[in-house]
Chains A and B, each alone.
Chain A
Amino acid sequence: MSDTPIIEMEHIDKSFVGNQVLSDVHFDIQEGEIHALMGENGAGKSTLIKVLTGIHPRDSGIIRWKGEEVKFSNPKEAEKEGIIVIHQELNIIPYLTVAENMFLGKELTYGKSGIIKSNEMKAQTKGILDKLGVKNIQPNDIAGNLSVGKQQMVEIARALATEAKVIIMDEPTAALTEREIRSLFNLVQDLKKQGVSFVYISHRMEEIFEICDRITVLRDGSYVGTRMVKETNLEAVVKMMVGRELGQRFPEKNNYIGDVILSVENFSSPGWFDNVTFDVRKGEILGVSGLMGAGRSEVMEALFGYRKSSNGHVKLDGKPLKANHPKNLIKQGIGFITEDRKVKGLMLEAPIRENITLANFKRVSKNQVIQTKKERELVNQLIKRLNVKATNSEQQVKSLSGGNQQKVVVAKWLGIEPKVLILDEPTRGVDIGAKKEIYTIINELAENGVAIIMVSSELQEILGVSDRVMVMHEGKVKGFFDRNEATQEKIMLAATGGE
């Protein structure tokens, strides 16, 4: 590492309408290093990045770029210097080709005529993709038809097309398959050797320790410290993030596994999944593992009557279950916490109360009229049980942190007092403290005899929480592993189609 950092941020303060979100924050990036920026949701990570790239002006403090003081007034200026941000929400225009997306806003033209040199754009795109070792994306592909992982690759390629010096990645692996993560990491290492620096924002601890050189931790808008990855460990970093000992990552549970409550037989939906057979018992936590696109979410959506299934038998307590509309399933005591809370789980503009009531009209109404008092009681009780951090039940859900939003979703489903609860990626984008709280709730439910089906892409989570693991690969069930025989290797092997 050279002596002068490529970026140096000192004593950064920022407040929004009297609300201090950053105070006296320090952050520096060396040339050719991968620097993790960590902290729970709401710790100020994204604000810090926005201050750096000029989206938000800072209240005070100094930013130096290659040793000289700078003040970017918008992201475009930062981009010109070579600071590129790859956001969690991808900036891909779905109807344009890969090449058109790559050159969006900086199209190659014949002079100033505005006429686009499309062949040259394609050729250059091809060149960049080749340099990245990406073989399965063509410049002519329509971006929207690519998997999320490939779209992410396009974004990264776009960052490279601009000769980036610093690439800031916000949760880049959230939507990637294991294989895609590998090729992303290889790429990052290659670029690092060429002197490119990275700021890496992620909730996935394992990744941070695998790929990063240094870690800077923020908590409640304040700078906690910077550590060399080599000289620290997971527990120490978690402690820095939450400000206290968190104890075990996966809480102990003491559940009794009873009789089969839900059984699924030869469940199929052409093109999505095929002949899926499994059951889950009262009080059991069944983990469902597999790569992105293995059909796990699709099985759950079909089971819940949200997606069509062509054949198969589903039985609840031995009685056939008609999966034609979520309403019927909810009536039978089945709950479904969907994968993407912003798209399929929440009304972001609505208050917490209305979101929780959404699946619980039966409990809070009489003759189709809402009983305001009953509603408040139920909502407040659930908010308390889940420890949702909000000023009151009327707060808009979109103003909550990711972890608290997820707790609102969970609260909604606890309201129906489910016999079977399906959770699809229940802790995605949730900070480590809230994660543990969600695990505790899952355990409590299982201890009270609720059957849990938990789909997750995080192997650690699957191994830490499940009693039994079902692995899917390309729409088929590849195997089951009991808690004591399940290992990362066995699950990965099954998930990638190995025998």
Chain B
Amino acid sequence: MSYIKKNISILGPLIGLILFSIFLGIMNDSFLTLNNILNLLRQISVNSLIAFGMTFVILTAGIDLSVGSILALGSALTAGLLSSSMDPLLAIFLGLLIGFLLGAINGVIITKGKVAPFIATLATMTIYRGATLVYTGGRPITGLSDSFTFEMIGKGYVFGIPFPAILMIIMFLILYFVLNKTVFGRQVYAIGGNEEASILSGIKADRVKIWVYSLTGMLSVLAGIIITSRLNSAQPTAGASYELDAIAAVVIGGTSLAGGRGRIIGTLIGALIIGVIDNGLNLMNVSSFYQQIVKGGIILLAVLLDRSSNK
């Protein structure tokens, strides 16, 4: 009973996901094939990774609009390092560190500068994008490493499973543990639940928030490296409007934009729903113009259902 109650927020999205999948499976023979499912998992990995970070941010009652720009800047700088024939593992590590720092800047502006997260990240979204354009001169960075390690990240398979999907699942498990089993995770919920009460109970809310934005920055660059590896180039316009899909996945997954309430497994389901819509409608040859209408409709439906279940 308490198990159902605890999971009620993801029950709706989960049922939605199953119904969609059955519907698409009936409409199209190739949808429920192993190949397509693995393909789907790879497709959603980029959005999922960003959305995992976004879940933490939204749980603290914040928002991060700059994820797409961080993705682009981090990818471009990583690509730059790779094309100067740096060791790929080191380049990836430095890329992730850059993402972490760009996120930390967001966090510091929001906490120490006391700027609303929406405004702060709206500004850094523009700044980071501009920096990407300056660094790349507006042109893609190509001619990257042909090392096995780097190719593996975006294009590789392990036991027939796409490597990005594995990366996504590993990150999910780690972040699930962090959010549900650690003091840090509990503090993230607490800040979103009542920031003043949290501080008065001894939580260093500013520090926790800076960590949350840093984590999101790092996950965004990780997602960017997957794209860079797949395309074997870094695009200056990469990640544009990715924040919207990430926020959509979090919201569809039942996390409250007011903070303090939500689950990361919901976000995974949310990302799957978005992926299933994209993938399924593609298979059915529905125009991408219509896909947007459907996606928007689903977001609206998810929020409306969440609202009525909270009454």
Chain A, 326-337, contact with B by CB distance < 8 Å: what is the 0/1 string? 110111000010
CB-based nearest B residue for A346: B197
CA distance A306 to B202 in the complex (A): 10
Task: Check if B204 sits within 8 Å of A327, measured CB to CB.
Answer: yes
Chain B residues with CB under 8 A of A226: none
Task: Check if A394 sits within 8 Å of B181, measured CB to CB.
Answer: no
Main secondary structure of the interface of B (DSSP, over half): helix
Also in contact, A354 and B199, with CB within 8 A (given A368-B182, A368-B183): no
CA distance A347 to B193 in the complex (A): 5
Task: Check if B183 sits within 8 Å of A358, measured CB to CB.
Answer: no
Task: Check if A347 sits within 8 Å of B203, measured CB to CB.
Answer: no
Task: Check if B183 sits within 8 Å of A365, measured CB to CB.
Answer: yes
Interface residues on B, range: 20 to 34
Task: Check if A347 sits within 8 Å of B190, measured CB to CB.
Answer: yes
Chain A residues with CB under 8 A of B237: none
Task: Check if B199 sits within 8 Å of A306, measured CB to CB.
Answer: yes
Chain A residues with CB under 8 A of B194: 343-344, 346-348
Also in contact, A358 and B182, with CB within 8 A (given A327-B204, A347-B193, A349-B193): no
Chain A residues with CB under 8 A of B183: 361, 365, 368-370
Task: Check if B182 sits within 8 Å of A327, measured CB to CB.
Answer: no
- For window 225-284 of B, CB contacts with A under 8 Å fall at 260-261
Chain A residues with CB under 8 A of B200: 304, 306, 326, 336, 338, 344-345
Chain A residues with CB under 8 A of B186: 354, 357, 361, 370
Between A and B, how many residue pairs show CB distances below 8 Å? 79
Task: Check if B260 sits within 8 Å of A350, measured CB to CB.
Answer: yes
CB-based nearest B residue for A351: B6
| CB of A260 to closest CB in B, whole Å | 25
CA distance A326 to B181 in the complex (A): 24
- For window 453-471 of A, CB contacts with B under 8 Å fall at none
Query: Is B21 interfacial (CB 8 A cutoff)?
Result: no
| CB of B195 to closest CB in A, whole Å | 10
CA distance A361 to B181 in the complex (A): 12
Query: Is A158 interfacial (CB 8 A cutoff)?
Result: no
Query: Is B30 interfacial (CB 8 A cutoff)?
Result: no
Task: Check if B201 sits within 8 Å of A359, measured CB to CB.
Answer: yes
Task: Check if A347 sits within 8 Å of B182, measured CB to CB.
Answer: no
Also in contact, A350 and B189, with CB within 8 A (given A343-B196, A344-B196): yes
Also in contact, A325 and B204, with CB within 8 A (given A345-B197, A347-B260, A354-B186): yes
CA distance A365 to B182 in the complex (A): 8
Chain A residues with CB under 8 A of B309: none
Total count of chain A residues near the partner, CB < 8 A: 30
Task: Check if A358 sits within 8 Å of B260, measured CB to CB.
Answer: no
Task: Check if B204 sits within 8 Å of A358, measured CB to CB.
Answer: no
Task: Check if A358 sits within 8 Å of B181, measured CB to CB.
Answer: no
CA distance A329 to B201 in the complex (A): 10
Query: Is B198 interfacial (CB 8 A cutoff)?
Result: yes
Query: Is A412 interfacial (CB 8 A cutoff)?
Result: yes
Task: Check if A327 sits within 8 Å of B202, measured CB to CB.
Answer: yes
| CB of A356 to closest CB in B, whole Å | 10
| CB of A20 to closest CB in B, whole Å | 21
Chain B residues with CB under 8 A of A368: 182-184
Query: Is B2 interfacial (CB 8 A cutoff)?
Result: yes
- For window 25-72 of B, CB contacts with A under 8 Å fall at none
Chain A, 289-315, contact with B by CB distance < 8 Å: what is the 0/1 string? 000000000000000101000000000
CA distance A368 to B255 in the complex (A): 24
| CB of A364 to closest CB in B, whole Å | 9
CA distance A392 to B1 in the complex (A): 13
Q: Which of B2, B196, B202 has the most CB of A within 10 A?
A: B202
| CB of A336 to closest CB in B, whole Å | 6
Task: Check if A344 sits within 8 Å of B197, measured CB to CB.
Answer: yes
| CB of A417 to closest CB in B, whole Å | 14
Chain A residues with CB under 8 A of B203: 327, 358
16 new A-B contacts at CB < 8 Å, known A344-B197, A347-B197, A348-B194: A326-B199, A326-B201, A327-B202, A330-B202, A343-B197, A344-B194, A347-B260, A350-B189, A350-B260, A354-B190, A354-B193, A358-B190, A358-B203, A365-B182, A369-B181, A370-B186
* A binding-site residues for B, Cβ under 8 Å: 304, 306, 325-327, 329-331, 336, 338, 343-350, 354, 357-359, 361, 365, 368-370, 392, 394, 412
* B binding-site residues for A, Cβ under 8 Å: 2, 5-6, 181-184, 186-187, 189-190, 193-194, 196-204, 260-261
Chosen A-B contacts, 5 in total, with CB atoms closer than 8 Å, are A327-B204, A344-B196, A344-B200, A347-B194, A361-B187
